[in-house]
Structure 1
Amino acid sequence: MTTPSHRRALRRRLVYTAAALAVIGAPAIAPTAIGTATAAPSQMAATSAPAAFDLAGTVNTRTFTNYHTADGQSINGRVIRSDSLDKLTAADQKKLAGHRVTSIIDFRSDVERAVQPDRAVPGATAVNYNVFGSPVPISVDSGSAGLTDTESQYREFVTSASARDAFRKTLLDIKSTAGKGDTVLYHCTAGKDRTGWASAVLLSILGVDRSTVEQDYLASNTFRHADAGDSLNGVNISSLRAAFAAADKTYGSFDNYVSKGLGLTAGDIAGLKKGLLVKHA
Structure 2
Amino acid sequence: MSRRVTSTAVVLITGSVLFAGFGTPALASADPLSLPGISLPGFGSSDFGSAGPVVETPRLASVDNFRDVGGSGRGYATTHGGHVTRGLFYRSNVLVPNDQDLAVLTGLGLTAVYDVRTVEEVAAKPDRLPAGPRYLGIPILSGDLGAAVAQLKSPADAVVFMQQMNRSFVDDAATRAGFAQLLTSLADTDGPQVFHCTAGKDRTGWASALLLSIAGVPQDTIFDDYLLTNEYTAASMKVTYDQIAASRGEAVAQIYQPLLGVDRSYLEAGLGRLTEQYGTVDRYLSEGLGLSAATVDRLRGKLLS
TM superposition score normalised by structure 1: 0.77
- In structure 2, relative to structure 1, the CA distance for the partners of 1:263 and 1:209 (3 Å cut) is same
Aligned to 1:117: 126
Aligned partner of residue 111 in structure 2, secondary structure: strand
Please state if 1:172 is matched with 2:172.
no
Aligned partner of residue 193 in structure 2, secondary structure: strand
Deviation at 1:137, TM superposition (A): 5.6
What is the number of residues matched between the two proteins?
A: 244
Aligned partner of residue 136 in structure 2, secondary structure: strand
> Runs ≥4 in structure 1, deviation > 4 angstroms?
17-20, 48-52, 137-142
Provide Cα deviations, 1:57-103, integer angstroms capped at 9, x if missing partner. Answer: 211111114302211222222000111112x1233233223212111
The code of the aligned residue for 1:57 comes to S
The code of the aligned residue for 1:22 comes to L
Aligned to 2:43: none
Deviation at 1:115, TM superposition (A): 1.5
Aligned partner of residue 73 in structure 1, secondary structure: coil
Percent identity, aligned pairs only, is 33
**Equivalent position to 2:25, from 39, 61, 74:** 39
**Equivalent position to 1:263, from 283, 290, 293:** 290
Aligned to 1:191: 200
Aligned to 1:235: 262
- In structure 2, relative to structure 1, the CA distance for the partners of 1:187 and 1:252 (3 Å cut) is same
The code of the aligned residue for 1:254 comes to V
**Equivalent position to 2:64, from 59, 67, 73:** 59
* Contact kept? 2:24, 2:227, Cα under 8 Å: no
What are the ranges of 5 or more consecutive residues in structure 1 without an aligned counterpart? 1-16, 26-30, 32-36
Superposed CA RMSD in Å reads 3.0
Please state if 1:73 is matched with 2:82.
yes
Provide Cα deviations, 1:117-162, integer angstroms capped at 9, x if missing partner. Answer: 11022101111111114xx369967633554311100000111112
* Contact kept? 2:167, 2:273, Cα under 8 Å: yes
| Cα distance in structure 1, aligned partners of 2:92 and 2:115 | 10
* Contact kept? 2:24, 2:228, Cα under 8 Å: no
* Contact kept? 2:10, 2:146, Cα under 8 Å: no
| Cα distance in structure 2, aligned partners of 1:18 and 1:205 | 39
The code of the aligned residue for 2:119 comes to D
Please state if 1:99 is matched with 2:108.
yes
TM superposition score normalised by structure 2: 0.71
| Cα distance in structure 1, aligned partners of 2:211 and 2:183 | 7
Aligned partner of residue 22 in structure 1, secondary structure: helix
| Cα distance in structure 1, aligned partners of 2:207 and 2:8 | 21
**Equivalent position to 2:167, from 147, 155, 163:** 155
Aligned to 1:84: 94
| Cα distance in structure 2, aligned partners of 1:141 and 1:222 | 27
Please state if 1:272 is matched with 2:299.
yes
* Contact kept? 1:93, 1:122, Cα under 8 Å: no
Deviation at 1:232, TM superposition (A): 2.3
- In structure 2, relative to structure 1, the CA distance for the partners of 1:202 and 1:122 (3 Å cut) is same
More displaced, 122-131 or 90-99?
A: 90-99
The code of the aligned residue for 2:186 comes to I
Provide Cα deviations, 1:202-226, integer angstroms capped at 9, x if missing partner. Answer: 1101111110000000111111115
* Contact kept? 2:66, 2:92, Cα under 8 Å: yes
Aligned to 1:22: 12
| Cα distance in structure 2, aligned partners of 1:154 and 1:18 | 23
* Contact kept? 1:45, 1:214, Cα under 8 Å: no
| Cα distance in structure 1, aligned partners of 2:221 and 2:270 | 16
